[in-house]
């Protein structure tokens, strides 16, 4: 997967010398990074001998500090929270696309939350009992829960590109983008229970729906820089967080801000309209 993503980025870099062109039936590709913010959510944990809910849990993302050895390394540039997208212009100012938002979700440690349900001694000797909405300190000795290898939102989108500015020499163009998207969500979760760490494999855990607002500054030869605000809902129904049939589920509302670099590519379906 990483060599394929790198190839897409290199393709983007080498094709930006295309002539200023009609966009209908052409393609675009971009890559960038983001920050995410999550609203409080309830998390349900269920297994053979435990069944409880943590209420109004706070969480945060997990951005990587900028290091050239990470962001510019061909084997590591997919470690940070990235955005990849490949799209097709179906008309001059509308497009469809498919892409991957590699988000990360970390349950905040040392917060006070309410708890409901049954905690077994095998899960936590200290907290083993029936709970009815009491508050507890959520410390790592009880539970650590995160999707730091990826809260991976693979989404298809429809986007509308609204042109509203260009310079007098027609070298730069500014577009507003609005879009709707949805698709499956794959979690790669990491949990610690009773001092035992469980690093689980990637798993189809749910789905998401979202909307986007963006500004795209495009050079006449196709290269562009884009800032995007992305907000949505993710429903996780089947998160693997321990072995066997132990599962977690939750609903996540998120906001994401990203900056990407991309190019509109001079490939066309049904012939190049610029030559007509």
> Which residue ranges make up each domain of the chain?
2-275
For residues 234 and 181, give the distance between their C-alpha atoms in angstroms, rounded to a whole number: 12
The answer to whether 146 touches 140, Cβ cutoff 8 Å, is no
The answer to whether 255 touches 56, Cβ cutoff 8 Å, is no
Closest listed residue to residue 77, CA positions, set 134, 137, 125, 31: 31
What confidence score (pLDDT) does residue 170 get?
Answer: 82
State pLDDT tens for residues 176-199.
999 999 999 999 999 999 888 998
For residues 168 and 253, give the distance between their C-alpha atoms in angstroms, rounded to a whole number: 42
State pLDDT tens for residues 255-268.
999 999 999 987 65
**pLDDT averaged over every residue in the chain:** 89
pLDDT mean over 134-159:
95
Residue 25 pLDDT grade (very low, low, confident, very high; cuts 50, 70, 90):
confident
pLDDT mean over 39-54:
96
What confidence score (pLDDT) does residue 242 get?
Answer: 87
Which phi and psi (to 5°) does residue 192 adopt?
A: -125, 120
CATH architecture of the region 2-275: Beta Barrel (2.40)
3-state DSSP assignment of residue 117: strand
What confidence score (pLDDT) does residue 6 get?
Answer: 46
* % residues pLDDT > 90 (the chain): 68
- Within 10 angstroms of residue 89's Cβ, the number of other Cβ atoms is 22
pLDDT mean over 28-52:
96
Q: Which residue has the tokens 């996780």?
A: 236
Buried b (16+ CB within 10 A) or exposed e, 31-55: bbbbebebeebebbbebeebebbbe
How far is CA 131 from each of CA 49, 112, 128, 134, 239, rounded to the nearest angstrom? 14, 14, 9, 7, 23
Cα 51-54-59 angle, rounded to 5 deg: 135
* % residues pLDDT > 70 (the chain): 89
Q: Is 17 exposed, middle or buried (0-12, 13-18, 19+ CB in 10 A)?
A: exposed
pLDDT mean over 236-241:
94
3-state DSSP assignment of residue 230: strand
For residues 227 and 82, give the distance between their C-alpha atoms in angstroms, rounded to a whole number: 13
State pLDDT tens for residues 67-117.
888 888 788 888 899 999 999 999 999 999 999 999 999 999 999 999 999
- Within 10 angstroms of residue 199's Cβ, the number of other Cβ atoms is 11
DSSP 128: -
pLDDT surpasses 90 at 43: yes
Query: pTM for the complete prediction?
Result: 0.87
Beta strands in 47-142 (DSSP E): 51-57, 59-60, 82-91, 94-107, 111-119, 129-138
Decide which of 25 and 43 is more confident. 43
For residues 68 and 190, give the distance between their C-alpha atoms in angstroms, rounded to a whole number: 26
Residue 11 pLDDT grade (very low, low, confident, very high; cuts 50, 70, 90):
very low
pLDDT surpasses 60 at 10: no
């Amino acid at each position: 997967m990483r060599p394929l993503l790198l190839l897409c980025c290199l393709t983007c870099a080498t094709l930006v010398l295309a002539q200023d062109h009609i966009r209908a039936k052409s393609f675009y590709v971009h890559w960038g990074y983001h920050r995410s913010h999550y609203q409080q959510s309830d998390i349900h944990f269920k297994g053979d001998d435990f069944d409880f809910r943590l209420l109004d849990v706070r969480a945060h993302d997990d951005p990587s500090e900028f290091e050239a050895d990470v962001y510019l390394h061909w084997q590591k540039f997919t470690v940070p929270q990235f955005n990849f997208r490949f799209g097709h212009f179906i008309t001059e100012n509308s497009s469809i696309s498919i892409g991957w938002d590699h988000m990360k979700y970390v349950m905040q440690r040392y917060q006070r939350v309410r708890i409901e349900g049954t905690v077994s001694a095998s899960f936590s000797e200290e907290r083993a009992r029936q709970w009815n909405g009491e508050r507890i300190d959520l410390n790592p000795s009880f539970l650590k829960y995160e999707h730091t290898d990826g809260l991976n939102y693979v989404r298809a989108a429809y986007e509308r590109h609204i042109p509203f500015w260009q310079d007098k020499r027609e070298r730069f163009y500014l577009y507003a983008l609005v879009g709707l998207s949805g698709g499956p969500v794959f979690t790669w979760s990491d949990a610690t229970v009773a001092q035992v760490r469980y690093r689980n494999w990637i798993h189809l855990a749910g789905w998401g729906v979202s909307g986007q607002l963006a500004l795209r500054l495009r050079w006449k030869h196709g290269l562009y820089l884009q800032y995007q605000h992305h907000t949505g809902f993710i429903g996780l129904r089947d998160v693997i967080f321990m072995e066997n049939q132990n599962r977690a589920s939750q609903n996540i509302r998120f906001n994401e801000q990203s900056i990407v670099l991309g190019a509109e590519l001079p490939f066309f379906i049904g012939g190049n309209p610029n030559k007509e």
